Amino acid sequence: MIILAEGIKIRGYVSGDEKDIVELLKFVFNDWPHFDINCTKLDHWDWKFSNEMSKKTMAIAEDNNQIVGTFLTWIFNLKIGDTIYSSSNGVDVAVHPNYRGLGLFTKTRDFVGALRSDFGLKVHLGISDNQIVEQKYEADTKKNPTLWPRFPFKINRLIRIQNADEYLNKNPINNKFIKKMGYTALRGANKLESRLYRKPETRGSFKIKQINIFDNSIDEFWERIKDDYDFILERKKNNLNWRYFDPRAGRFRVLQTEEDGKVVGYSVLRINRYWVDNLKGFIVDLLAAPGRLDIVDALITEAVAYFEDFGINAIISTGFEDHPYSRIYKNHGFVTYNKNKLHLWLTEDLSNDIVKLQNSKVERAHIAIGDEDNLL
């Protein structure tokens, strides 16, 4: 425990904190979570942080027995270079408005850093579109590039909009005219580019089917593809089933692509019904065997058709800039509407694995919305 000069305590999680944590998150974020769930918020919290290591590596800011700040963590396995590391990601980072300006973000984050070191979590991911947080990450990278190595690829947030006027009316943005013209120009540029685009040649006879659970075949898929990546979260049965098939996580539509009795790809789709008059579709995850862009194209085609059948105006996905998947998304009418940076925070020098990542090609990296905790 750390006691600040202001009398605020920085401490770890203790059983029973979750009720007050959820209340803080609801207040700070104007409700939580911002997607539809079929359970109580506490049940969703229990699912989200069911990994005991998550609870061991949380930071709580407390003042007079009131929780006023949080830095919570997700735990997962992450492949960097040739090694799979037990890793974390900061989620539900919140500070009560009355306590901002006291450095609680940095203090809770550093408290988590010490816990990670104690428990052997060597890697922490940070993704944010908050300018203040981004500036802090950049300063840390300049100060200590060994423990804050620069990540080589940018994240593109992708969107496909059927009716720009409808989208802008339901998603108020300053200077709508410029935003509309910007989207229209980007969509037009993509159409011109798509005339030169060659649809991926079908390389085999595969089928796409909806599944209700991942079985051992997805572990076999992971073992076949993992060495083709220098950056990817582990895609194995237990974690994927927890992420997409636990009812407390929400409702997902999961498709699996099979060829010659083997898994060669999958996709995860979701309609966010939180705002009932402003439904959005999300391609939450999509992965195919290396080189099988025909499967990527087929899965995106299926996703677009699925969402259009429900009258969804906006479809959202994510990927690394200049990645082969991104070029296929563009051919399907997606444009980049935002760019984020990913940051790595290490507890020790990972040496050769970081060098390999920083010298890698973007097609050897993978990221998806489902690797994060929210629908962005």
Query: Are the folds of 2-121 and 155-342+363-371 the same?
Result: yes
Nearest to 124 by CA among 85, 159, 162: 85
Task: Show the beta-strand stretches assigned E in 191-279.
Answer: 207-211, 231-233, 253-259, 262-272
Beta carbons of 358 and 149 less than 8 angstroms apart: yes
Strands 83-95 and 123-128: parallel
For 103, residues 6+ apart whose C-beta sits below 8 A from its C-beta are none
Q: What are the residues whose beta carbons fall under 8 Å from the beta carbon of 205, sequence distance 6 or more?
A: 259
In sequence order, which residues have a C-beta less than 8 Å from that of residue 347 and are 6 or more positions away? 113, 116, 117, 121, 122, 123, 147
Q: Which amino acid is at 264?
A: V
**Integer CA distances (angstroms), 360 to 84, 150, 355, 374, in order:** 16, 13, 8, 28
Beta pairing partners, 338: 157
CB count, 10 Å around CB of 82? Answer: 10
Tell me phi and psi for residue 149, to 5 degrees: -65, 145
Of 303, 287, 325, which is closest to residue 253 (Cα–Cα)? 303
Give the pLDDT score at 210: 98
Q: Which residue ranges make up each domain of the chain?
A: 2-121, 155-342+363-371
- The DSSP bridge partners found for residue 75 are 88
Q: What class is the 155-342+363-371 domain?
A: alpha beta
Multiple choice CATH, 2-121, 3.40.50.2300, 3.60.120.10, 3.40.630.30, 2.40.50.140: 3.40.630.30
Are the C-beta atoms of residues 214 and 237 closer than 8 Å to each other? yes
Structure tokens at 149: 């190595």
Contact between 339 and 304 under an 8 Å Cβ cutoff? The reply is: no
In this prediction, residue 186 carries a pLDDT of 64
Give pLDDT, residue 197. 58
* Whole-structure pTM value: 0.92
Contact 62, 4 (CB under 8 A): no
At residue 352, the 3 state secondary structure works out as helix
* pLDDT tens column, 153-190: 999 999 999 988 888 888 876 555 547 657 776 666 56
- The stretches in the chain having pLDDT less than 50 are 178
Q: 231 with 79: CB under 8 angstroms?
A: yes
Q: What is the dihedral of CA 129, 135, 140, 145, to 10 degrees?
A: 70
Residues 187/335, Cβ–Cβ less than 8 Å: yes
The rounded distance, in Å, linking the Cα atoms of 280 and 316 is 8
- Cβ–Cβ < 8 Å for 141, 343: yes
Longest pairwise C-alpha distance within the chain:
66
CA-based end-to-end distance of the chain:
33
The predicted pLDDT at position 199 comes to 74
